[in-house]
Structure 1
Amino acid sequence: MEKNMNNRNKESDKSIVSTYIFCSLIGISFFIALGIYTLNNLWDLGIDNDLTGYVGLIAAPPTAYLWIIRERKKELELENKEEDQYLMKVAELNRVQNEAINQFYDEKKMLAGAIAINSSIDEWKNISNTYREHRNEIFIKIEQLASVLFFKYTIEEKNSRQMTGIIKEVIEKIINIQNETKLMFDWSKYKFEILGFGTNMDEYPGLGLKYANTFIGSELLRATFLECEFTSLNLTKMTSSKSYFDKSYFTNANLEESKFIDSSFIEAFFTNAVLIKANLFDSNFFKADFERADLRGADLTKTDFTSANLTGAKMTGAIISGTYFENADITGIDLLGSELKNADFPYARIHGVEWNNSIKQKILDGHLREIY
């Protein structure tokens, strides 16, 4: 707020007439007019030596200067008016959100408080769109409100269906705000469990997915989403690092060009998922299910597929470097054109794998053991 006041003071200085500049412009204009008059007399330039014209020439620059100052003053008055309106809205929203938080911590009114907090986040978001210069401070307000909900959700052993629905809506809003402002929410403080964002469209044809495109291009750093449902969602270009998605469902999801760095997907499901050109660097997929998943061109450097089911997966052109396949079932996978380097396949089931002889020899040299 103090910074805004300093900026307003600086702008105010620009709307004040400077005597020095004003007099300087008059002096400069006078000498220019005198020069033109002299040259006109010496070289007969054909300029009418009318006194009115020279007076106008002398008066033009300082008059223009005064006009600029007047316009600046109008702009400043408008900005001050908008700033005052912003401060009034902030004061009102602070009052409303405080009431909502008090309601939320009252066990009898908790759900009503959660709904009010959710609405307050919407209001702050709307103000942020109007007063973009205040986005950073407004994001802090939104982050604080979301934290109130998320913290309560995290510590509760059981949450109502309505509360869970509100949590999902707020997560969606935070992701959207992150994408718009490029400001990052601290996901590491919270643990989300059994949240259903998607569903199996094969089982429920015609059912709309509310969160179908929520996670496109999203960035979740140090996030924890355990046993959550991302089935059939569009997760293209989603980025996450040092996160936990254990036992979560990504069946039929589109994760093309997504990045999951140093993250955990223990016993997660990626059946029929599209991970074309995805980056799964140094992530753990212990006992994960990738049956018929599309991993063409994916970067699987240092990825751990221990005991994973990769039956029928497409890995054409994938980068398989330092990748671990201990006890993995890679029956019928397509490795044609893949780049293999220091991959480890102990006890892997490889029946029906599509590869060329050179790749097979490299794998055999890496102490692969076939189990049928």
Structure 2
Amino acid sequence: MKNKFKVNFVVNVNWFLKSILVAILLAIFIYIGNKQLHLGIDNTMTGYIGLIAALPTAYLWIVRERKKEAEIEYRERELLNKYEEMYQNKVIELTKFYLESVNLFFSDETSKAGAYALNGLIIDWINLSRLYSDHLEECTAKISQTASVLFSKPQSMDSKIVTELLLNLLRYNKNSSRGIAWYESKFENITIGLYANESHPGHHIFRNVFNNQYIEGIKFENSAFSELEMMKIHANYSQFIKCDFRATNLQDSILVEANFNNSMMVGTNLSFCIASDATFDNVDLTNADFSHSNLIGASFKNSNLTGVDFSGAVIKKTDFTGACLKNAKFEGASIENSYFNDSDITGIDLKGDELDGSQIYNLRFYGTEPTDDIKEKILNGKLQDIFKLYKSKQNFETETLPF
């Protein structure tokens, strides 16, 4: 390879002799022109020798520079080959270690040791992806593969491994153009929110790591995210069952078909979210903020929605069956074909005609189920007048409405 490379850049004798001939002819032409036209150029031997030597010298300089460039390119190729060879050797090493760790992980006697080994292997792949960024896609696939093995047997991981694993994956996911495949991921009893316990474990580390994360399909259960910044997450089809989101900021997030059933979400910021077909059943959402969110097809069955801000939200085919909507705010909300059956709407700011076209069976306010006559008046926009009368009268059922 090296000998062939040198031959390609030896001086071509024919071109060299041609350059000398051209230089001599040029010198003769200048000499004759100077003599006949009286140009005033000094006819010295040194000048003409320099003129004759200039063109061959330029040719030799070009050949030398091209040879230098080719040598540099050759060395770069050698370094690149060496770089690739080092990467492949590291892959072989990590693959071997992966097989050994998997065998440890699925053995009852050594499963915990295998879990630590696999977790360390994920860190090795993350570091390798930083050194060899052109192999980022392959490294990401290996990270997802290794993580899926760990998630297949979560009982073998203690809380320290799980928390460290989640943090490493989230950090890698944020800094990588290739996202982690989360659909096989399930985390239980993760305590990283402010209210996790008195010592707030992990809260400072996780404070902002969820922002702008793509975590579609991830599963959390009995986990705490209270007061974390989780803005602009993409969590379509994800599950957050029995989780603590008190005062968590989820603004501008995409939560299509996400499941938050049986969670604690008091004071949670869910404004400007796309939460179509999301499920918030049996959730305490007291004073939460859903303003300007897309809630088409979302479900809030049997949830506490006291004081929730739905202003400007899109509420279409949304299910509030059995929900407590006391003092909820709906100003500017678009309500269409939704379900308010068995719900308590005491103190909401609607006129009432917005509920026309929605189901309002067994509707309640101020502890009373309105008659069909009163329901008709509600749908005619008299809800706030009815509320005033309910507050002022002790026994509204015997009163005659002044409409």
Bucket of the pairwise TM-score, normalised by the shorter protein: 0.7 to 0.9
Q: Does 1:299 find its partner at 2:294?
A: yes
Q: CA deviation at 1:121?
A: 1.4
- CA distance in 1: counterparts of 2:324 and 2:90, whole angstroms: 60
Whichever residue aligns with residue 204 of structure 1, its letter is: E
Matched ranges for 1:1-372 at <5 A: 16=5, 19=8, 30=19, 37=26, 41=30, 50-153=51-154, 159=155, 163-200=158-195, 204=198, 209=203, 210-355=205-350, 357=351, 360-364=352-356, 366-368=358-360, 370-372=363-365
Whichever residue aligns with residue 371 of structure 1, its letter is: R
- CA distance in 2: counterparts of 1:175 and 1:228, whole angstroms: 16
- CA distance in 2: counterparts of 1:26 and 1:176, whole angstroms: 61
Identity %: 24
SS for the counterpart of 1:69 is helix
Cα distance change, pair 166–51 in 1 and its aligned pair in 2 (3 A): same
Q: CA deviation at 1:312?
A: 0.5
- CA distance in 2: counterparts of 1:195 and 1:36, whole angstroms: 88
TM-score, length of structure 1 as denominator length? 0.80
- CA distance in 2: counterparts of 1:205 and 1:105, whole angstroms: 34
Q: Given that residues 26 and 59 in structure 1 are in contact (C-alpha distance below 8 angstroms), is that contact kept between their aligned partners in structure 2?
A: no
Q: Which runs of 5+ in 2 are unaligned?
A: 366-403
Cα distance change, pair 167–207 in 1 and its aligned pair in 2 (3 A): closer
TM-score, length of structure 2 as denominator length? 0.74
Cα distance change, pair 81–20 in 1 and its aligned pair in 2 (3 A): closer
Q: CA deviation at 1:253?
A: 1.1
Tell me what 1:9 maps to: none
SS for the counterpart of 1:371 is coil
Q: CA deviation at 1:26?
A: 5.4
User: Any idea what the Cα deviations from partners look like across 1:209-257, whole Å, max 9, x if unmatched?
Assistant: 1433332222222232233322222211111122222322212211111
Whichever residue aligns with residue 340 of structure 2, its letter is: F
SS for the counterpart of 2:315 is strand
Q: Which moved more, 1:288-297 or 1:221-230?
A: 221-230
Q: Given that residues 329 and 348 in structure 2 are in contact (C-alpha distance below 8 angstroms), is that contact kept between their aligned partners in structure 1?
A: yes
Q: Given that residues 265 and 284 in structure 2 are in contact (C-alpha distance below 8 angstroms), is that contact kept between their aligned partners in structure 1?
A: yes
Q: What do you get for the CA RMSD once the two structures are aligned?
A: 3.6
- CA distance in 1: counterparts of 2:72 and 2:168, whole angstroms: 39
Cα distance change, pair 288–30 in 1 and its aligned pair in 2 (3 A): farther
Cα distance change, pair 206–199 in 1 and its aligned pair in 2 (3 A): closer
Cα distance change, pair 22–366 in 1 and its aligned pair in 2 (3 A): farther
- CA distance in 2: counterparts of 1:275 and 1:150, whole angstroms: 29
Q: Given that residues 149 and 167 in structure 1 are in contact (C-alpha distance below 8 angstroms), is that contact kept between their aligned partners in structure 2?
A: no
Tell me what 2:381 maps to: none
Whichever residue aligns with residue 364 of structure 2, its letter is: I
Cα distance change, pair 19–365 in 1 and its aligned pair in 2 (3 A): same
Q: Given that residues 22 and 65 in structure 1 are in contact (C-alpha distance below 8 angstroms), is that contact kept between their aligned partners in structure 2?
A: no
Q: CA deviation at 1:182?
A: 3.1
Whichever residue aligns with residue 185 of structure 1, its letter is: I
- CA distance in 2: counterparts of 1:257 and 1:300, whole angstroms: 13
- CA distance in 2: counterparts of 1:174 and 1:206, whole angstroms: 21
- CA distance in 2: counterparts of 1:122 and 1:314, whole angstroms: 43
- CA distance in 2: counterparts of 1:234 and 1:18, whole angstroms: 64
Specify the structure having the higher radius of gyration (Cα): 2
Q: Given that residues 328 and 347 in structure 2 are in contact (C-alpha distance below 8 angstroms), is that contact kept between their aligned partners in structure 1?
A: yes
Q: CA deviation at 1:68?
A: 1.3
Q: How many residues are paired up?
A: 349
SS for the counterpart of 1:59 is helix
Tell me what 2:382 maps to: none
- CA distance in 2: counterparts of 1:39 and 1:182, whole angstroms: 66
